[in-house]
Amino acid sequence: MKERKLNKTWLIVGAIILAIIVLYFIYRTYKPEIDLLLNFNSHNRTKLLHMIRSHGFTDIFLLVALVGILNSIPGMSNSVVCIFAGLCYGPIVGFLINWSGNILGNCTVMSIIRKIDLSKRVKKNKLLQHLLQQKHPLIALTIGFMVPVIPSVLVNYAGARLNVSRKHYLAMVAVGMAPTSFLYAFGGDAIFKGNMRRLIGAAIAILILIGCYLLVRKIWQNHEEKEVAK
């Protein structure tokens, strides 16, 4: 008996609706802080910091959930939420919020990716084929999680196709999602403190990650052209 596939469109619609609901609760919870941020100056910085730090675990979990939900939706970016987490809670707690949310989102996708009937366009994606054909796939997939512009659904699908063990998968996600999770939190904290050097440093680091991806993609393309020419 053929296994019944989950409807990808309905899953995405459901995730978007859930993200909107969580976003509403976050806005309602953090509205006083958001109002201060929109009128931010050096005089209300201490007051804003005190208000943010007074939030409990439940409010922090809302941010973790939103980061995870947005991470799991193809084509959606959670960078603004990750920066907001760093802006509110600083680089360390912000990093933990972003990191936990990104791991949660990827693990959710990985748990259902085999049950989704992905389009032929996704299955024939050149980047996916490169990920599947690497001599060291675990390293390639870890790099795939590190680079913001690589769709996580492709990396997760490649992991499913390669039958990566749960232990190795968790290690890849944890290592791969750490750099951008920290950089966004670091950047958010730099915005809060008005530290342009830190902000520029975070932006440069993210651009370096994207540059590494473009370099690796160019190497893959050259290798593919050589294989075709043989």
The reported pLDDT for the residue numbered 229 is 57
Average pLDDT of span 133-148: 82
Cα angle value 75/181/34 (rounded, 5°):
80
Determine the pLDDT at residue 1. 45
Q: Name which of 43-47, 148-152, 177-181, 212-216 the model is least confident about.
A: 212-216
Residue 170: pLDDT over 50: yes
Pick from 32, 34, 26: nearest CA to 62: 26
Total-model pTM: 0.81
Query: Where do the structural domains in the chain lie, given as residue ranges?
Result: 8-229
HEC letters along 19-66: HHHHHHHHHHHHHHHHHHHHCCCCCCHHHHHHHHHCCCHHHHHHHHHH
Stretch 123-149: mean pLDDT: 80
